[in-house]
Amino acid sequence: MAKQICYRKECTRIRSELSIFLNRRRPPLFEGHAFCSDSCLLAYFENELNDKWRRLQMEKSRKIPRPKIGTILMQTTYLTRDQLDEAIRLQNQTREGRLGEWLLRLGFLEEHQVTAALARQFGLPLINLRNSSANAEAVRMIPGKVAKCSGLLPVGFDDDEDSIRVAVCAPVDFLSQQAIQRMVQKGIRVYIGDQSKIQQLLGEWYEPEDLDLSTLPTFSSMDELIEVGNEIVTTAIENRAEDIRAELLQEFFWVRLDYSAESHHYFFRYITTPVEDSSPAPGNEFIFNYAVGR
């Protein structure tokens, strides 16, 4: 008789398919992995959240050496040293904005020049978004709140449709792109595009409520993250979800529950300082449903 071994390493329990059938209950899969009981699923999920949290904090503090954008711009455009120094002075004085934004404000460069320099800085190809039209399937696969938070725009698929093409602007959040890749179970091919065009197309291709992050419930600590995560997993168990996927982005906790006919997406924002929050507990107000076609 077929046996089911629990995916949680600490568990030694083995269940037969017959016992699962007789109990009429099987815990949802987590990222495609099976568990012997609800308690094992919850324990594994909590460990995964702790691990993702630790890795996220490590990534935030990690510095990757890259060529300086100012140096690239002086080498590839007509930007002078005096113009660069003026932009840096104003950036330091106001303590806001990126260097490229100040160069645009001052009229020293055009946006496509800054975009080309960013592509060189991050070693990514350029994409021209001037005549882009929405690919409904690509847009549907990446919820608007994820696109907004991650600063990316889904523009279509590669030729074999194994990967989604996305346009981004600096700063490039590679960690979020890896998380999205795991959630949608497709590769992510990244291109650098003009920031103004990305923002414009986000507004055109998504509904305003899909991009609104202001009403999302929040969490500010590991304990709060575990609490909201356990509530969602409990909901998945009660409603007989088939699979659970969860990812931590830089400012975002994203959970996807797959059912037989649709997927439910939960979103929570990470804030560094707790604020008084009158938002209701996790529930239907913060679920976004997508038709099957995963």
Report how many helices (DSSP H) and strands (DSSP E) the chain contains, helices first.
12, 11
Q: Does 267 map to a domain?
A: yes
pLDDT of residue 23: 55
If pLDDT is split at 50, 70 and 90, which confidence band does 142 have?
very high
pLDDT of residue 5: 79
For residue 211 the two structure tokens come to 């991009």
Q: Which residues are CB-contacts of 256 (< 8 A; sequence separation ≥ 6)?
A: 183, 244, 245, 246, 263, 264, 265, 266
Average pLDDT for 135-152:
91
pLDDT tens per residue across span 55-71:
888 877 777 788 999 99
Are 152 and 175 part of one and the same domain?
yes
Residue at 95: amino acid letter: R
- Last residue of one domain, picked from the residues 211, 231, 248: 211
Are 83 and 48 part of one and the same domain?
no
Q: How many domains in the chain?
A: 3
Residue 35 has pLDDT above 50, yes or no: yes
Q: What is the pTM of this model?
A: 0.80
Are 205 and 221 part of one and the same domain?
no
Average pLDDT for 4-17:
77
Q: Does 116 map to a domain?
A: yes
Q: Does 128 map to a domain?
A: no
**Which is higher by pLDDT, 135 or 251?**
135
Which residues span the domain enclosing 93? 69-122
Are 224 and 287 part of one and the same domain?
yes
- Last residue of one domain, picked from the residues 167, 195, 211: 211
Residue 185 has pLDDT above 50, yes or no: yes
pLDDT of residue 273: 64
If pLDDT is split at 50, 70 and 90, which confidence band does 248 have?
confident
Least confident range from 10-19, 176-185, 211-220, 250-259: namely: 10-19
pLDDT of residue 3: 62
pLDDT of residue 279: 45
Q: What is the dihedral of CA 40, 46, 47, 50, to 10 degrees?
A: 180
Q: Does 162 map to a domain?
A: yes
Q: Does 15 map to a domain?
A: no
pLDDT of residue 64: 76
When mean pLDDT is compared over 18-27, 126-135, 165-174, the highest value belongs to 126-135
